A and B are shown apart, each in its own frame.
Chain A
Amino acid sequence: MTWDTEYALSILPRLLRGLLVTIEATFAGIAIALVLGLIVAVIRYLRIPIISHLFTFYVSFVRGTPLLVQAFAAFFILPDYGITMSALLTGILVVGVNYSAYTAEVYRAGIEDVDKGQWEATTALSLPGRPTWTRIILPQAVRKIIPVLGNYWIQMFKDVAILSAITVSELLYTAQTIGSSDYRYLEPLTIVGLLYLAVSYPAAIIVRRLERRLAFSR
C-alpha cells in the first residue's frame, strides 16, 4: 500500500471534524473533573465520618479500574436501569468522573505542599478562615496545581480516543469508520497520529512554560 496524497486530502475534513469532537469532549471532561474533583477534595479534607471514607473509596475505585471498563459499564449497563444518554454525553461523563479522582488528588497534594509555617503565620496574625484560604493558601497551592493539571489535561485529550469503543464519533472513531468503509488505514491513521501530535506537543510546551513562570523565583 502506497501513500495517496489526494485521498488523504479528501478525508481530512472528516478527520478534522472528529478532532473537534475530541477537543470538545476534552474541555467538557476538564470542566466536570475540575468541579467534581474540588468537591471530592473538600469533602475528604473535612474528614466527615463515613462520607469522607466513601469519597476516599470513590477515588481508589475510579483510579483502580481502567477507563475502558468504566466506559463500557456506563454505555452498556446504565441503559438497563433506564438511564439513556447519547454516546458522546456518556463518554464525556465517564472521562470527567474518571479524571475527577486524579484532580482531587492533585488538589490535595497542592494544598498539603504549602508549608506548615504559612498556616502558623495566618494563626499568629489571627487571619480568619476565608482570607486564609483565598489569599494565602490557595494562591500558593495553585502554582503547584496548575502545571500538574495541565499534564493531566493533555493525557485526557489522548484518552478520549478510548471513547471510540463506545461509538463516540471522535477522531479515532472517524478514522476507523473511514478505514473500514474504504479499506485504507494508512492515510487516516497517519493523519490521526499527526493531528494528536499537533495538539498535544504545543500544549506540553505551554504547560512547561507555565510551570516555570509560576515557580517562585529564588
Chain B
Amino acid sequence: MPSPAESIDAESPEPANGSDEMITFENVSKSWGDNKVLQGLNFHVKPAEKVSIIGPSGSGKTTILRILMTLETPGEGVVTVDGDELWNVAAGQRIPRETKQMRLTRRKIGMVFQQFNLFPHLSAIQNVMEAPVQVLGMSKDEAHERAKDLLDMVGLGEHLNHKPPKLSGGQQQRVAIARAMAMRPKVMLFDEVTSALDPELVGDVLDVIRDLATSTDMTMLLVTHEMRFAEEISDRVVMFDSGIAVEQGPPKKIFKQPDNDRTKKFLRAVLEH
C-alpha cells in the first residue's frame, strides 16, 4: 500500500511553461525603512528540491517565504513560481494591487507558520476541509475524506473533532501541515515551524516533515533553526546574513566545511552552545 503522503501528491513536479526552475527570485530587494531586509537577491529552486534557509534572526530568511506567500511585497524585483510571474516590481514603483494572476499562482504554494495560525473556532478536520471546499469547490464528502487521510498521515486520526485550543502545540502544528497539504501545493513553505514548540513536541512535527520530504516530490523551502534536521533532509542549504545569501551548497559542505566566515561564525554559535 502506498503511503498516504505519496497518494496525495499526484501532480507532476515539472513546472509549466518549460522553465526548469520552480521558484526564481531575480534581483529582489526589500526594506523596512532604512533596514535592508533583502538586497538584490537572486535565488532559484528546482522542482522537488528541498532547500533549508539558515542564518541569524533578522537576516531576511522569513521575508523570502512571506514574499512567496504574498504576505509581503518586494520593494523591487521579479519572483516567479512554476513558470508564472508572482511579482514584478520596478524600483520606486507603488505597491501593485493583488492581481488574478497572483491569486492563481499563489494557489500552488502552501505555508506552515511558526504560530500555527489554525482557525480556533473550527475542529481539526474543519480546519483541513475549509480551503478545498471554499477554494477548489470540492464536495464536503470528498473534502472530509481527504482531510481524514491527511490527519491520519500526521498521526491525528484520533483528534478529528478536537478544536485547536484542546490540542498541544505539536498537534496543532501537525494539523496546520495537513491543512496546507489539503490544497496539494507544488511548493511548501515552512517558517520556523518548531520554534514555538516545547522541546519534547518538536520530534513529532519534524517526523511529519521528514516523511513529506522523502515521500513526495513537493518543492520544499524551510526556514529553520534545527540544524541537524536541515542537514538530514535538505538537498541544499542557504546561509543568509544581512539580506544576502552569503553561501550555499549541499548540507555536508555547508555544515562540515563552510567557506564563508559568517557561516562559520553562525554555525559555531548555534552548534556549540
Residue ranges of A at the interface with B (Cβ–Cβ < 8 Å): 115, 117-118, 120-121, 123-128, 131, 135-136, 139-140, 143, 216-218
What residues of chain B lie closer than 8 Å to A136, measured between beta carbons? 119, 130
On whether the beta carbons of A126 and B106 are closer than 8 Å, the reply is: yes
Kindly identify, within residues 75 to 129 of chain B, every residue whose CB is under 8 Å from any CB belonging to chain A: 103, 106-107, 109-111, 113, 115-121
User: In the complex, which of the residues A117, A140, A218 contacts B165, with contact meaning CB atoms closer than 8 Å?
Assistant: A218
A-B complex: 3 closest residue pairs judged by Cβ atoms: A117-B117, A125-B131, A121-B117
> Is A121's CB under 8 angstroms from B113's CB?
yes
Q: How many residues of B contact A (CB 8 A)?
A: 27
- Judge whether B59 is part of the interface by a CB distance below 8 angstroms: no
CB proximity to A under 8 Å, residues B109-164: 109-111, 113, 115-121, 130-131, 134-135, 163
Asked if B166 is at the interface of the complex by the 8 Å CB criterion, the answer is: yes
Q: Is the interface of B mostly helix, strand, loop or mixed?
A: loop
A113: min CB distance to chain B, Å: 13
B166 and A123 form a contact (CB under 8 A): no
Contact flag A139-B121 (CB < 8 Å), given A123-B71, A126-B183, A218-B165: yes
Which of B109, B115, B134, B180 has a CB less than 8 Å from the CB of A127?
A: B134
Residues of B within 8 A of A126 (CB): 103, 106-107, 131, 135, 183
Interface assignment of B42: CB less than 8 Å from any CB of chain A: no
Report which of A120, A123, A125, A218 forms a contact with B130, defined as CB distance below 8 A. Answer: A125
Q: How far is the CB of A211 from chain B (nearest CB, A)?
A: 16
Q: Which residues from chain B contact A115 at a C-beta distance below 8 Å?
A: 117
Report the bound CA distance from A131 to B165 in whole Å. Answer: 22
A37 → B minimal CB distance (Å): 23
Pick the residue among B71, B165, B166, B179 that contacts A125 (CB under 8 A): B179
Q: What A residues does B121 contact at CB under 8 A?
A: 139-140, 143, 216
What CA separation (Å) do A54 and B119 show in the bound complex? 35
Instruction: Give Cα A121–Cα B182 distance, bound, in whole angstroms.
Output: 13
Contacts of A124 on B, CB cut-off 8 Å?
A: 69, 71, 109-111, 113, 117, 180
Q: How far is the CA of A21 from the CA of B33 in the complex (A)?
A: 59
The CA of A121 and the CA of B135, in the complex, are separated in Å by: 13
Smallest beta-carbon distance A179→chain B, Å: 51
Cα–Cα, bound, A3→B25 (Å) = 86
- The verdict on A217 contacting B166 (CB below 8 Å), with A125-B130, A126-B183, A127-B130 known, is yes
Are B110 and A128 neighbours in the complex by a CB distance under 8 Å? no
